[in-house]
Structure 1
């Protein structure tokens, strides 16, 4: 889901998470929140900070995720990018969620990440050339699969509420 374009200095999302679906090589399923700077300009001026639940079948080799990206300063000894989420939703059962926030420190200009209201770390302002503020905040899920393969499931893999009823889909 996309927000209206404006001025944003932070956002939070509560994301329902399900267990590992059958994700094949070169496929991805993701649920995330991201803040975007420069979205209305040229592509090389777009800056994003993203966080969420990401499942690639290739061991996180499809992009710059977790600690594969230079620059993120991790502070939490207990949880950080790439950590396993162990409490997962069960179809028709209890819904489990994660709460993620991304916000700009007005004093330092760094962009902070919190998980379940605990500070995880930050992206230094020097990593960005167009993220003084976010012009857009987005959240939601996505899947990717090569053109000739069926997509992996998103979330539980079932249709949105109210089609299947409560405790059976992500939101």
Structure 2
């Protein structure tokens, strides 16, 4: 059995505070053939494990309670003998900053009327449409870290727009951020998301990365904003997927599934809502937050995240076919409007190789904007701001053919 204590863990802090290359292809052109549909049906049988109990939400989504030892993660050949770690052996002591927003709590993330038995985990059931849409997002290069795109790796950026704050140094063992919740309106095949990511690897073929945040994509999540994750261990070639649509992520929570609908959301010039997320490599000690699950170290090659990341990123990303105006990012307002009006990620921290949680120095964070006339990012580090370190990002969109 695998006795390693090094895991990349997705942890959600559930407390409450106050105020708060396929080029732009339309899915209609990507209808799978009968052979592809048959292959997807085969995949669905492998992905959706026999449930102990099942529940259907008002939105028509089905969630299953699966035996924790029989979940999809253990179909991965590298995890066949993996021993489940229900709690991290160590949780960083993240520094708590003054907060003017309301964090969504565990009861708000827990699905109403759903209670999974002891010894099970809650998993969103995957459909054939989910597989089609996931493949579509991969084909247009979604969730590839911005620094990889910038470095010219023959990845088509058509329709993609970014506004991020990035920390690029070696030996990053984890990151934290409170992501402001908004529910931007997008068209049928557009995407708008807020993300926090870590990545590492010398070349694109050996890139390892994990992204977590919220996404609005009517094709992948039907309605409104949902908690999402994405990971890869080989530069988005053969490994990785959204949420639990492939073996890899080990779910340990029986209350909070990946892909869950996030409610309530922020109100312009009113109450602000946020979700506290952290990704970190666990080394030793105990848990003090609600642990959703983790990506075992054995999934990642030595040159990837095993020895630490070299990029941490916070901010927004959108995508739109070139035939449409690009959608809203964040709240739809530029950073200069400030708190309560512009989207933000606050309480930004880095975990170093010694397991120490650090507030990044001012000179270590740089903002990047792919389309400044439509989206901007502003790094905040003044003591008189609501937080010591944060990034405002977003904009109204409206770009065409870029």
Q: Which moved more, 1:87-96 or 1:69-78?
A: 69-78
Structure 1 unaligned regions, length at least 5: 108-113
**Structure 1 residue ranges, 4+ long, deviating more than 3 angstroms after superposition:** none
CA separation in 2, counterparts of 1:120 and 1:166?
Answer: 29
Q: CA deviation at 1:148?
A: 2.0
The structure whose residues are more often helix, as a share, is 2
In our comparison, the structure showing a higher alpha carbon Rg is 2
Any stretches of 5+ residues in structure 2 without a counterpart? 1-164, 223-229, 231-240, 345-402
Separation (CA, whole Å) in 2 of partners of 1:13 and 1:143? 20
Q: Is residue 52 of structure 1 aligned with residue 213 of structure 2?
A: yes
Aligned twin of 1:15: 179
Q: What is the alpha-carbon distance in structure 1 between the residues aligned to residue 209 and residue 167 of structure 2? A: 14
Written as runs of structure 1 = structure 2, the 5 A alignment for 1:60-75 is 60=221, 64-75=241-252
| Alignment partner, residue 89 of structure 1 | 266
Give the CA deviation at 1:76: 1.2
Distance of aligned partners of 1:43 and 1:60 in 2 relative to their CA distance in 1, 3 Å threshold:
farther
1:160 aligns with 2:335: yes
SS in 2 for 1:9: strand
User: Which residue of structure 1 lines up, in the alignment, with residue 397 of structure 2?
Assistant: none
User: What is the Cα deviation at residue 79 of structure 1?
Assistant: 1.1
CA deviation profile, 1:43-98 (whole Å, cap 9, x unmatched): 1100001110111121259x821222321111111212101111210111111001
CA RMSD in angstroms, aligned pairs only: 2.1
Q: What is the TM-score normalised by the length of structure 1?
A: 0.84
- Whole-angstrom CA distance in 1 between matches of 2:305 and 2:339: 38
SS state of the match for residue 335, structure 2?
coil
- Asked whether 1:99 is paired with 2:276, we answer yes
Instruction: Please give the alpha-carbon distance, in whole angstroms, between the structure 2 residues aligned to 1:18 and 1:11.
Output: 21
* Superimposed CA distance per residue, residues 26-48 of structure 1 (whole angstroms, 9 cap, x where no aligned partner): 2111111111111xx22110000
Q: Which moved more, 1:125-134 or 1:91-100?
A: 125-134
Tell which has more relative contact order, 1 or 2 (C-alpha 8 A, sep 6+). 1
Paired residue total = 158
* Preserved CA contact (<8 Å) 2:180 2:275: yes
TM-score by length of 2: 0.37
Q: Secondary structure at the match of 2:220?
A: coil
- State whether residues 191 and 320 of structure 2, in contact with CA within 8 Å, keep that contact through their aligned partners in structure 1: yes
Partner of 1:76: 253
